[in-house]
Structure 1
Amino acid sequence: MSPNFKALIEEFLADLSNAGRSWHTIRNYRSDLNRFAGYYNGEIEDLMTDHLRQYLQTLAEKAPSTRGRNFASLNKFLDWCTRFEIIPANPLARLNGPKWGEWVPRSIPTEKLLILLQEMKRLPPRERLLFTMLLETGMRISEALGIQIENIDFTQGQEFVIIRGKGDRVRLVPLLPEMDCLGLLKDYIKDCKLVDGPLFRPHSGKKARSMSYRTALFYWEQLREKVGLQYEIHQLRHSCATSLLNDGVDIEIIRQLLGHQDIQTTSRYAKLDIRALRKELIAYVQRREKGLVREERSVWEIC
């Protein structure tokens, strides 16, 4: 890797960090850009479209999502280089990005989720609270780890937590009495005598530090090894969204709960389970039988 290229990557990543991008996002950019820097030994000023075309061909056997992410990371970096006049133009702009295909979120099947839930009840209070909160609220792991005690409100009947999500956007997530995580949260704060600072912190008790993503992932991997399941921690969020959708919760409400900026992102969950579609069609038939629709004949009768 050229020292000049390495320095530019670090400057780019520093700007992302200053802009509030998450540690997880920055880690992905670093991995993708270092992969390219390991392939290209020249200077940034000498980078040509052919170099990029040949590099992308080395990723041909990778998953579409991996190829798409690498393309996007390079494009973002080269746009940054152009903006700061390090290079006159982005040489990647002449190439078409790989097709990702449609990404479909994968929830955990109910029968497997019940196995996980039983084992979660045996976890220490901190880990049990974290995983239960992820499942019941649909938070991202980074959002949960960023919760501050000061941002939790236990006002009777109005309990909520303020979290900071992607793009530094702030939202309120309600905590209902029916949620196990509300009782676990109250007990955890009381037993640990937490007054302020991070909710999830290292066992050393250092108030200024939050539990790291790596630590949370370590405990999740221990949990799934015990039950012999290989689901990712982020699938708890998908399971929350899918369950709410299949139970008839309005998709706009789910969008707000998950913190999606675009409802098209949330709508992907509608394609996961035919039960939701079937439920709506049955409801349509029932409305027809009660004379609650305007059309005299259904589309099936016309056909």
Structure 2
Amino acid sequence: MSKVIRIGTRDSELALWQAHTVQNKLNDLGYKTEIVAVKSQGDIILDKPLYELGITGIFTKTLDVAMLAGQVDIAVHSMKDVPTALPQGIVQAAVLERAKSVDILVHKGNLDFLQTTGTIASGSLRRKAQWLNKYPTHQVEDLRGNVNTRMQKLKDNDWNGAIFAAAGLERINLKPSDYIDLDWMIPAPAQGAVVVVAMQDDAFVLDALEQLNHLETEIATYIERQFLRTLEGGCSAPIGALAKYNEKDDTIHFNGALYSLDGKQKFEVEKTVPIEEWKKLGFFCAKEILENGGEALMQELRAHLKK
């Protein structure tokens, strides 16, 4: 185990927490590691243009480039930010056990606005669409930046609240007391899960990471991302998906939905199947939505998001 595994990560507090979590797990197994925080792509010369390599994700692109250039051996991501198609040569090597997948509303101590009109903030089209579907009289303001930045913007503005992933706030101890679980909101595919990717020909690293993989989380996130991929929705599309394993009766329960940007249209599917049927569950659920009106909405979404 003389090789030092270089762990690539973005430099935000949450990204570093995820990278250090992977580092600690590898260290516990006896591997030597090093954290490499990558800030920008830089002028890296590759044999092919990025689009030919399939590099697309806005949050993952820099680390993809660093890995292909040999600057890092693995990269750690919030799985919900990772495109369903990985670049050539890069493979999913491990999915850590999932934390909470629920979204939460961080508010300012008064929830009366839920019964009338109000303004909440979120940069996610999925969260915005689901919120407007439930609260059509509300306004949703755009909110971007890392978790710390978004929490500060909530304090600085007169919004009634903002929507966050519970897992992100809990991981860096930023979850306040004034919040409510949005258990009616379907999370993003793979929300709450951390994925580690590596080069497909690096046997040493792949063997190390295989020991970190949590099978139940791997299966659930596979189903959710298959649903997303079959709908042909990118990470930013208003699509929610959640798969859960029930060990009592050995079944998988899946809930997925596609929304219009204004929340007025909703196509939802919910199924429970024996565990043996998990490999095509996301595909069949997505096809059901597409065949029942979702295809036309997806065409509208693709046209809008390309603008």
- The two structures have a TM-score, normalised by structure 1, of 0.24
Write 1 or 2 for the structure with the bigger share of strand.
2
Q: What TM-score do the two structures reach when normalised by structure 2? A: 0.24
Q: Which has the higher helix share?
A: 1
Greater relative CO, 1 or 2 (CA 8 Å, sep 6+): 2
